[in-house]
Structure 1
Amino acid sequence: MEQKLDRIVTLFTDAMKELRSEIREEKVAFSASLLASGEGHTGPMNPVPSPLIYKKVSSNYGNGYDSNTGIFTAPIKGVYFFRFYAHCQGGRKMAVSLYKNDQKQCSVYSEKNEHNDNASNGTVLTLEKGDQIYTKLWEDSWVFDDPAGYTSFSGFLLFSL
């Protein structure tokens, strides 16, 4: 009887450890702004070689965001929310798109307004583990950032699947 009880306790303990591990994995959220310090613009580029790389990371739970590449890689399968915000100075074209595995999902655009302009967009996406999300400038467009974080990118897991 005692041996059976020890086995039940061991199974219960193992199940609790696995559950705790899964709960920890489900904490996924990041937020970053474009420049690590100072102020300036990014762009224009033609062609645009890579994603925008947001260097000033304020949070990165789950370590899904890579500040060396600008790419968020889903650590677990689930439904996620992403938001990006872009700023441009007057007289400049600003256009940025959000991509999932190289497929455009949504965009923001401002055509050479007289004054500074801002735009934001967001979307809910179902991701498989390993799917990649990033933002990218359009050709011949600009974004501006300073310590206030005018140009930023963030996302978080709504629930796992």
Structure 2
Amino acid sequence: MKTMLALKMVLLLCVGASLAHELITPEILKSIEERLRITEATLNELKRENEALRMSAQASEFKLESLQEVNKAKKVAFSAGLLSTGSQQFGPFSTQENLVYKKIFINTGNAYDSNTGIFTAPVNGAYFFRFYVHSHPDKQMAVSLFKNSERQCSVFSLKPLTNSNASNGVILTLEKGDRVYTQLWADSWVYDDENSFTSFSGFLLFTF
């Protein structure tokens, strides 16, 4: 009984295959091939569009990161006193010496280095700088502000009868990497204590 059933199924499959073969004409086969070709072309086009979207997304992400970095760089401001603690007279020295301001009030953007006393511009722009200096009677006090190795402005007091205070300020156009710092002249003195009489400050006005 089972054998007869199996034979009937085989005969039906053979008949079905024969009919299917007769039904698939050259025209139908050509139509199927054309549809397959169109489908393949559509898939390739979708792949190209997907790759273009991926590249566009990467470019947008990179641009966003760049804008975030620029915006972060725009937040630049520092202010520091010469001494972090105690009191001290600086000088005189036989040569000009950088003043290194240790008492940090603010250092947004970390462009000022309290180990060297040097501010390094993190971005192209216009910056404002001001420095204050204090000295005691009968002492020569002279300090200059430098951009890289070029003197920009100075303060000077020659052996005053009482304590002397002086300040100066300037707006500078800086390129990324330019350095700004103050130097004590040779044979000059400055003084500072917990009141921060001697200080150095600066901030970014705008970028360009």
What TM-score, normalized by structure 1, do the two folds share?
Answer: 0.90
Alpha-carbon distance change, 102 to 5 in structure 1, aligned in 2, over 3 angstroms: closer
User: Number of residue pairs matched?
Assistant: 160
Instruction: Name the structure where helix makes up a greater proportion of residues.
Output: 2
2:90 is aligned to: 42
1:61 is aligned to: 108
Task: Please report how far the alpha carbon of residue 159 of structure 1 lies from its aligned counterpart in structure 2 after TM superposition.
Answer: 0.5
What TM-score, normalized by structure 2, do the two folds share?
Answer: 0.71
Match of residue 75, structure 2, among 3, 23, 27: 27
Q: Distance in 2 between matches of 1:100 and 1:14?
A: 33
Task: Please report how far the alpha carbon of residue 11 of structure 1 lies from its aligned counterpart in structure 2 after TM superposition.
Answer: 5.4
Larger Rg: 2
Task: Please report how far the alpha carbon of residue 93 of structure 1 lies from its aligned counterpart in structure 2 after TM superposition.
Answer: 1.1
Instruction: Name the structure where strand makes up a greater proportion of residues.
Output: 1
- The percentage of aligned residue pairs carrying the same residue is 53
Q: Distance in 2 between matches of 1:131 and 1:17?
A: 24
Q: 5 Å matches for 1:57-96?
A: 57-96=104-143
Tell me which of the two structures has the higher relative contact order, counting C-alpha pairs closer than 8 angstroms and 6 or more residues apart.
1
Of residues 11-20 and 62-71 in structure 1, the stretch that sits farther from structure 2 once superposed is 11-20
> Runs of 5+ in structure 1 lacking a partner?
none
> Runs of 5+ in structure 2 lacking a partner?
1-45
Q: Distance in 2 between matches of 1:113 and 1:142?
A: 12
Q: 5 Å matches for 1:78-157?
A: 78-157=125-204
RMSD of Structure 2 on Structure 1 (CA): 1.9
- The residue identity in structure 2 corresponding to 1:152 is S
The structure 1 segments of at least 4 consecutive aligned residues displaced by more than 2 Å after TM superposition are 1-18
Alpha-carbon distance change, 157 to 8 in structure 1, aligned in 2, over 3 angstroms: same
